[in-house]
């Protein structure tokens, strides 16, 4: 799910670039140096995840992992997602350079929302956290599909048509991501629970 | 005047050579010669047909081979455009490098602060 060059009109491109740059600048100021390694690891995980393709009929879709990135990194996940997308764009030719801002918004906003929801509702109960992580992992993929539909709607497409196609195409990915998110979060909680503890840095969490 | 005579000569030569194939037929009242010429014509016709047939067959084979090669080229192109292990490690290296450099900057700034205070 990457928007290519020339799909979006210039106005949408410029606005999405500006919004992305603003969020990234805010997060760079918020970034604590103790978080550097964690952000680096999650960025590389996000970057590589897009290479894992799930065959789906004649075409194939790939993992996105915005949910997991958001849950581990919290509010600074937008930074990780943007950096990962920049590198994917230059090294893998996924998505266009002009659409980078839109792609970052598409993946980054669900990631931030996922982090916020996870830290708002998580408990010490492992099973509850697993279910929550699975739901968030799936939901974030659907959410990015909806943002994709919204971005294309702003550029003059029919919203429901595009959104329906995007959501239907990503249902298998959403299911797989839910499973992966749930298992990863349960593993992290068992092995290294401090990796999931970023709630204190949320203003409302 | 010279080019006119040259033109005339050329036209004359063309006419002569054009009709030259008919000259034996016209001149010979002999039946045998006529049939012989007709026979060679038939033979050459069958040769021609055979050659055309062969060429068509070869053409078909060649175009089939070409199509296959084109298909393989396309496959190779998509294969090449797909990111490989090199790109993956390059990206991971970039990420760690960027964060490493920023950590280094941060550490230097903190060291400076410590020394000043």
pLDDT in tens, A23-40: 999 988 888 888 888 889
Would you say residue B24 has pLDDT above 60? no
Is the Cβ of B24 closer than 8 Å to some Cβ of chain A?
A: no
B46 and B26 inside one domain: yes
B9 and B52 inside one domain: yes
ipTM beyond cut 0.90:
no
* DSSP per residue, B13-79: HHHHHHHHTTHHHHH---HHHHHHHHHHHHHHHHHHHHHHHHHHHHHHHHHHHHHHHHHHHHHHHHH
Chain B CB contacts of A87 under 8 Å are 91, 94-95
B22 and B56 inside one domain: yes
Say which residue, B43 or A140, is predicted with more confidence. Answer: A140
B36 and B50 inside one domain: yes
User: Which of A90-99, A138-147, A149-158, B39-48 shows the lowest mean pLDDT across its residues?
Assistant: B39-48
* Domain span including residue B40: 2-82
pLDDT band at A17 (very low <50, low <70, confident <90, very high): very high
B25 and B8 inside one domain: yes
In this structure, CATH architecture of domain A10-201: Orthogonal Bundle (1.10)
Arithmetic mean of pLDDT over chain B: 80
**Shortest Cα–Cα distance, A129 to chain B (Å):** 29
- Number of domains, chain B: 2
Among B residues 84-113, those touching chain A with beta carbons less than 8 Å apart: 87-88, 90-92, 94-96, 98-100, 102-103, 106-107, 110
Would you say residue A199 has pLDDT above 60? no
pLDDT band at B31 (very low <50, low <70, confident <90, very high): low
B65 and B88 inside one domain: no
User: Which of A17-21, A124-128, A184-188, B61-65 shows the lowest mean pLDDT across its residues?
Assistant: A124-128
Would you say residue B56 has pLDDT above 80? yes
B94 and B62 inside one domain: no
């Amino acid at each position: 799910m990457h928007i290519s060059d020339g799909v979006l009109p210039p106005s949408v491109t410029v606005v999405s670039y500006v919004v992305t740059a603003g969020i990234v600048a805010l997060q760079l100021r918020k970034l604590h140096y103790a978080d550097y390694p964690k952000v680096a690891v999650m960025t590389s995980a996000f970057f590589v995840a897009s290479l894992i393709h799930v065959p789906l009929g004649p075409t194939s879709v790939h993992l996105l992992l915005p949910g997991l990135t958001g849950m581990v990194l919290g509010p600074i996940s937008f930074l990780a997602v943007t950096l990962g997308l920049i590198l994917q764009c230059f090294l893998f030719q996924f998505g266009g350079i002009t659409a980078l801002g839109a792609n970052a918004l598409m993946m980054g906003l669900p990631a931030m929302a996922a982090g916020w929801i996870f830290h708002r509702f998580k408990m010490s109960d492992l099973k509850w956290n697993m279910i929550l992580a699975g739901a968030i992992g799936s939901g974030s993929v659907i959410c990015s599909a909806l943002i994709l539909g919204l971005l294309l709607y702003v550029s003059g497409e029919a919203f429901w048509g595009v959104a329906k196609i995007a959501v239907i195409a990503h249902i298998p990915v959403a299911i797989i991501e839910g499973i992966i998110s749930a298992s990863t979060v349960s593993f992290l909680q068992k092995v290294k629970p401090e990796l999931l503890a970023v709630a204190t840095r949320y203003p409302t969490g | 005047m010279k080019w006119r005579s040259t033109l005339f000569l050329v036209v004359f030569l063309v006419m002569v050579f054009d009709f030259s194939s008919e000259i034996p037929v016209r001149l010979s009242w002999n039946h045998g010669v006529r049939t012989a010429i007709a026979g060679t014509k038939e033979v050459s016709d069958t040769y021609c047909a055979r050659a055309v047939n062969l060429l068509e067959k070869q053409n078909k084979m060649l175009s089939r081979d070409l199509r296959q090669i084109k298909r393989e080229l396309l496959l190779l192109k998509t294969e090449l455009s797909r990111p490989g292990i090199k790109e993956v490690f390059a990206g991971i290296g970039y990420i760690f490098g960027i964060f490493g450099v920023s950590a280094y900057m941060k550490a230097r700034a903190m060291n400076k602060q410590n020394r000043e205070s």
